Structure 1
Amino acid sequence: MTITTAGPYDRSVYPTAAASWEKGRAAGIHDGYDEGYLRGRANAIVARTKATFPFRSIHVLYVVSGKGLPYSPLDEAVITTLQSMTAQVTVTDPRQPVADIAAQLRPNLMLALDGMDLPLEQVAAVRQLGITTAVWLTDDPYYTDMTTKIVTHYDHVFTLEMNCIELYRQLGCSSVHYLPFGAFPTHYFPLSSPVPAKHEISFTGSAYWNRIYFFNPIMPQLTARNIKINGIWWDRLPDYQSYGDKIELGRWMSPNETNDLYNGSKIMINLHRSHQDDSVNNNALKLPAASPNPRTFEICACGTLQLTDTRDDLARFYKPGEEIETYNSQQELLEKIEFYLTHEKERREIALRALERTLREHTYGHRVNQLLSIASP
């Protein structure tokens, strides 16, 4: 008896399997071409969009937030950018005798990030030395119960929330400025090669209650896609256990890991926290938030399409429908996810326009240059 064997792709023996293989091969080639085209154009945009900023012969004493993650990457971004723009940067933290350091080194400017852990007597002592002081607030308007107690102690106040400007001016601050964070291209940038883990849609961030209430009804539709969710408190979801490896719980990702997630996702969802959540906020005034969060700029810096909930001041930074996409309901989010996952060209063009706008206007170089133009003596 003769036994005939066939290879795994012998079309005469396995015609259905062969057809499936050919279809999968064609899809793989198409996806590979699309990704290569996107990455090539993204890297061309990075290469040609090089902003330059003036150099200042000043010495900056920089006081870090002192809070570790997720603030330490912000500190790194500010420090590195300051070092590229000024003659000298001395870095210290709120636990150190900041005023003594200032008295010894005589910097031109003391800049504190966040400032909530820096003793006010230290700030006062620095000002008594005749040294200009500035604070860049990181979490407005969510902790205004505390920030309102410190802002009047600085010469210059910078806030990432436009709705806090008038509040601080009413308190007597004479120099208050709107300065959102931006993208730090060392941390967030388009990768040249594919990342190992790829997802259709992703979200990273803490599971504040407004996010739980928003996502919970549509989790079945989201998990039907190749979704990745990362952050703390996501076990608040009623059916958390059923989502398996779709959720990575309780770990802060490094900037490199976050950049990989952004680059490895076709769509990044952005959903801002609520200004009314008393379980985590210290915002007795219930001051609403109008300005986009730092993640808005970081996602755009990677050449990835962003779907974000609408903020009143978003259009100042990106044109909705051209450089970023927005949603106002769960149904609209699902519809736009479906559309952009099936319309590669439209998704790609919006993402690339956002990348170019970010590099042209919204990096830490742009922000720090603006800060120094106001606060440097």
Structure 2
Amino acid sequence: MNVLYIRSGYKGIYTYFDRWIEEGFLQSSVRFFSVSDLQEDTISSIREFKPDISLMMAGDRIPSEWLQWLRTEQIPVYLWLTEDPFYFDVSAKIAPLADAVLTIEQNALDAYRQMGLQHVYYVPIPVNQRIFTKQAPDASLHTNLLLVGYPYPNRVELVKAAAKLPYTLRIIGKGWRRHLPKTIARQKNVLIMDEWIEPEHAALYYNSADVVLNPHRSYRFALNQNGRGIQNISLNTRSFDIAACQTFQLTDLSPAPPFSSFVSYSGLADFADKIHFYMTNPTERERIAALNYQETVPAYTYDQLPAVLTAIRSDTFS
């Protein structure tokens, strides 16, 4: 099978996704060719490559030019909607143009089927197990609690609650100082890194924390484009990264199968209770982290992506 991959064009973590996808295909027998811009020399190279399918990630904007050209060339389009359900309004506009829809949100599957789409599949963004892997903790990076990510309102509220607990807390991500009260930001047990960190560094911090806090973005966040109000029930990409490091994580979702081992909290009081319990039970943390690992790796890695696409192609052409 020949796979044409159209790079997302997004910045930040997506530049890593693009690279990791290519690395995953290099480990397989599937032929792979990646492009960015639709230019004359690109078109010539694509035609020479003779792709069986094209794969592209799409989030909050519509790749109209590419979709139109691929249709004209009669190259099957596999659209990987990697911001579902938060930009489902955008996804719903482009999904009918695809031959197969891959979504990271299990709850979006029914919504696509209600639109009359037959070939829809749950495909979470995989984990790079070469970067996110169990490592010896770095004592200089150790904290009891760790949260990495953007300061969405629900995360801010969680940090306010976590800061009151008798544990050290590290927060990493752009914008946190603007969103936290100065009284919390100045607490001795609260460490703030107001910056985006590369995946390699994130892995070091995950391995050096006792508990990683993983509250998900809310489907009701004001800046979403999710008019149908589709609630997210699927684990985010960070869940897989943390699990691959075999570090215990506490999340706000009760994830859908097959991820039954992940521990979730319901409300801030339950969050505090669970933090106290797991901070005093390291053996239980290790046991659950090992189960998290078994449920995510190796089934959801970039090395497995070629086989996933091959199976989807067999299904769409059956």
Compared with structure 1, are the counterparts of its residues 87 and 325 closer, same or farther at alpha carbon in structure 2 (3 Å cutoff)? closer
- Is 2:255 the partner of 1:317? no
- Is 2:265 the partner of 1:330? no
**Deviation (angstroms), 1:172:** 3.6
**Deviation (angstroms), 1:195:** 5.7
**Deviation (angstroms), 1:76:** 2.4
- Is 2:106 the partner of 1:168? no
Unaligned runs of 5+ in 2: none
Deviation readout 1:106-160 (Å, 9 max, x if unpaired)? 2122110226556324223223323221011111000112111111111111001
Whole-angstrom distance in 1 between the partners of 2:153 and 2:270: 20
Deviation readout 1:327-373 (Å, 9 max, x if unpaired)? 11212222222222222211111112222332243323345422321
Whole-angstrom distance in 1 between the partners of 2:141 and 2:159: 23
Deviation readout 1:81-118 (Å, 9 max, x if unpaired)? 12222442111125656655433422122110226556
The structure 1 residue matched to 2:181, chosen from 235, 238, 262, is 238
Compared with structure 1, are the counterparts of its residues 79 and 166 closer, same or farther at alpha carbon in structure 2 (3 Å cutoff)? same
Whole-angstrom distance in 1 between the partners of 2:220 and 2:155: 13
Whole-angstrom distance in 2 between the partners of 1:96 and 1:237: 46
The structure 1 residue matched to 2:91, chosen from 143, 147, 171, is 147
Which residue matches 1:355?
A: 293
- Is 2:229 the partner of 1:300? no
Unaligned runs of 5+ in 1: 1-57
Q: Secondary structure at the match of 1:333?
A: helix
Compared with structure 1, are the counterparts of its residues 213 and 266 closer, same or farther at alpha carbon in structure 2 (3 Å cutoff)? closer
Whole-angstrom distance in 1 between the partners of 2:216 and 2:241: 14
The structure 1 residue matched to 2:146, chosen from 192, 202, 209, is 202
Q: Secondary structure at the match of 1:80?
A: helix
Compared with structure 1, are the counterparts of its residues 318 and 115 closer, same or farther at alpha carbon in structure 2 (3 Å cutoff)? closer
Runs of 4+ in 1 over 6 A off after TM superposition: none
Whole-angstrom distance in 1 between the partners of 2:209 and 2:38: 40
Whole-angstrom distance in 2 between the partners of 1:95 and 1:269: 41
Equivalent positions of 1:43-192 (< 5 A) are 58-94=1-37, 96=39, 99=43, 101-114=45-58, 119-192=63-136
Whole-angstrom distance in 2 between the partners of 1:95 and 1:206: 32
Q: Secondary structure at the match of 1:157?
A: strand
Which residue matches 1:259?
A: 203
* Contact 2:56 2:80 survives alignment (8 Å): yes
Whole-angstrom distance in 1 between the partners of 2:19 and 2:231: 29
Whole-angstrom distance in 2 between the partners of 1:324 and 1:134: 30
Whole-angstrom distance in 1 between the partners of 2:272 and 2:25: 41
* Contact 2:233 2:256 survives alignment (8 Å): no
Aligned residues: 311
Whole-angstrom distance in 1 between the partners of 2:201 and 2:38: 29
* Contact 1:184 1:364 survives alignment (8 Å): yes
What amino acid sits opposite 1:248 in the alignment? M
Compared with structure 1, are the counterparts of its residues 243 and 94 closer, same or farther at alpha carbon in structure 2 (3 Å cutoff)? farther
TM-score normalised according to structure 2 size: 0.89
Which residue matches 1:212?
A: 156
Deviation readout 1:45-86 (Å, 9 max, x if unpaired)? xxxxxxxxxxxxx22111111111122222222221122224
Equivalent positions of 1:266-285 (< 5 A) are 266-278=210-222, 280-285=223-228
What amino acid sits opposite 1:73 in the alignment? Y
